[in-house]
Structure 1
Amino acid sequence: MADETYEVSEIVDELLTKKRGIKEIIKEMKNVSELMVDLAYSAILFNNNDLAEEVKGLEEEMNKLRLQIEISAMLAARTSEDASKLSGIIRVAAAAESISNAAERIADTVLRDIELHPVLKEALEEAEETVERIIVTAKSGIDGMAIKDIRDNEKYAVDILCIKRGGKWIFDPKWDVKLKTEDMVIVTGFKENVEQFKDLVK
């Protein structure tokens, strides 16, 4: 109980210090839930434990964001009318968390080595696009490159969904953000393009 109280206290301090708005938090919840679904399906398709583990880690991030929304709503509600308006936002946040919970259950089938039904596996394999996790190294060729340079380079032909740097996620990174050694990058694109990208940055 003491640990939970400390966590809530930390979240309140973060909200007050960074002055994050409810709209910003909702947007991040949307980004996280969408990423979790993409990673979960790719984890199943390729039987990839690393992707499944990332989904589990993102579920913890979603729990934190849900707490941030609830606390922000409580701090913002000054009248019964405010509370009524903010209740809708909380429902949206709850819906996003439900999506993330479903993604976590999908990823859990990979971690528990549960065999997929052949029909489901065949359906997943028919998807044209995929998602992959790539670690940037000093020898990878993309160390120090800006997102814009990668997107504009025809030989890469992938989109960067987000970056995990030092334990922190950067969602929808701006084009001037430069990749660094040890960054974990989540990329998406047509299967052949993603595979080519992986080969190029080894």
Structure 2
Amino acid sequence: MEPDVAYEPVSVKDVLSEMKDTAELLIDLSYSAVLSGSDEVAQEVLALEERMDVLQLQARMSVLMAARSPEDAEQLAPVLGVVGAAEKIANAAGDIAKVVIEEIGLPDAMRAAIPEATEALVRAEVTADSQYAGRTLGAINMETESGVRTIAVRRSSQTGKRAWITNPDRDTGIEAGDVLLLRGMDEGLATVYEAATGTAYEPPEPVDSPIEDLDRAVDSIVTMKDMSELAVDLAYGAVLFDSEAVAEEVVELEAEVDALKSRLEAWTLRAAAHVEDPVELRGLVHLAAATEVISDAALELSEGVLRGLDAHPVVAAAVEESDEVIVRLIVGDGADIAGDTLGELELGTETGTRVIAVRRPGEETAWVVSPDADTALRAGDVLVAKGTRAGAERLSTLAGDPQAFDT
């Protein structure tokens, strides 16, 4: 039964900010559930989707209450667009999670899509005798000691109501019964998971596929996920900086995702002729459709910027309220970072930001999504980075693009 929602005075900025954080978390969680085959993580997605339903209703009611004239309606219409796009992302994430929960059908090769060097996401419930219970994240010092980050905390009250902390910080206290959503490498996760739950962590075993077309389809799903997630990040960045240039990058990514979806459908149909039970491939088609919805929603987020509409100040304020910001930079001639690899530069340590994509205009493969330590930077590259505002400003100076925040 759906929870009752009644109008109550709320800060539109706070609701929009929580919706942004929740939407980004949902994308991460839903795909982690698929790649790891975890019913538990998939159930967390559905629980978080319910929270998003409440948030979007609260946001719509508050916007309607604020509109008192045609001028107000014109200013607030883009706000409703942002709300609607975030809701679509949440619904798509729920559809992705249902692929696991309803056993729609996925090849075992999906688990082989997790590279060994990629961080995994795990759900861990804190037991009463855990060494974490009753301590703050700062006191636990989890990330420094194990390389594992707590990206969200779900807490249930005595009445059974669930509360989410989507941006936990060092002052966030951990209680017995809390569900921690942890991201890190397997070795660190094993230590943290056992400390939280008292049981050993068992990572999923990768399974190789002997079918080439199926491998291509699975690789396409992972690339679509990365591109859609990047498109959402860029869309919020376009709103924050009122940047048409960043919004145009979202347009290109959305087109790339559409093209990947078409190729994936072809490879899946070809692979169906070589598997014992073609029904097990249905999940790939479902994943592709849901991922396309996410990229379409990112385009909707950018639509106001693309059409030259001024974003309502509350939207930009809500995006800026997030712990992390998005910045688009162009590496200038003679820049400090030109000619070096990301591994050599150690930008995460130096600036507190991470490069989440590199675009090379003119190349057949324009986007390098989720670049690794071996990715070399050169003059003319377009970098998309995520981190603190101060760190992003430092990176813009290193890139020789100090005007990045004025676009």
Q: Is TM > 0.5 for Structure 1 vs Structure 2?
A: yes
Secondary structure in 2 matching 1:21: helix
Q: CA deviation at 1:137?
A: 2.4
Aligned to 1:189: 387
In 2, Cα distance between equivalents of 1:140 and 1:113: 32
Deviations 1:38-75 (A, max 9, x none): 00001001101110000001111011110111011111
Shift of 1:19: 9.2
Look up the match of 1:200.
Answer: 398
- TM-score (ref. length: structure 2): 0.43
1:72 paired with 2:267, answer: yes
Cα offset for 1:184? 1.4
The one-letter code of the counterpart of 2:390 is E
Question: What code does the residue aligned with 1:63 have?
Answer: D
Determine which structure has the larger helix proportion and give its number. Answer: 1
Whether 1:32 and 2:230 are equivalent positions in the alignment is: no
Q: What's the CA shift for 1:162?
A: 1.4
Q: Which has the higher contact order (CA 8 A, sep 6+)?
A: 1
CA contact (8 A) 2:213 2:271 kept: no
- Report if aligned partners of 1:132, 1:188 keep a CA contact under 8 Å in 2: yes
What SS class does the counterpart of residue 60 from structure 1 fall into? helix
Deviations 1:18-48 (A, max 9, x none): 9962221111001000000000001001101
Look up the match of 1:56.
Answer: 251
After the TM superposition, which of the residue ranges 111-120 and 99-108 deviates more from structure 2?
A: 111-120
> Which residue identity lines up with residue 28 of structure 1 in the other structure?
T
Match of 2:337 in 1: 142
- Quote the residue 2:374 is aligned against: 176
Asked whether 1:90 is paired with 2:285, we answer yes
Identical positions, percent: 33
Q: Is the 8 A contact 1:150 1:156 kept in 2?
A: no
Residues 89-128 of structure 1: per-residue CA shift (max 9 Å, x gap): 1101110100000001111110112233443332112112
User: Is 1:151 the counterpart of 2:317 in the alignment?
Assistant: no
Q: Which runs of 5+ in 1 are unaligned?
A: 1-16
Instruction: Tell me, in whole angstroms, the C-alpha distance in 2 between the residues paired with 1:51 and 1:109.
Output: 13
Secondary structure, counterpart of 2:308 in structure 1: coil
The answer to whether the 8 A contact 1:151-1:158 is kept is no
Q: Distance in 2 between matches of 1:71 and 1:99?
A: 21
Match of 1:127 in 2: 322
**Cα pair distance change 1:20/1:80, threshold 3 Å:** closer
Q: TM-score, normalised by structure 1?
A: 0.84
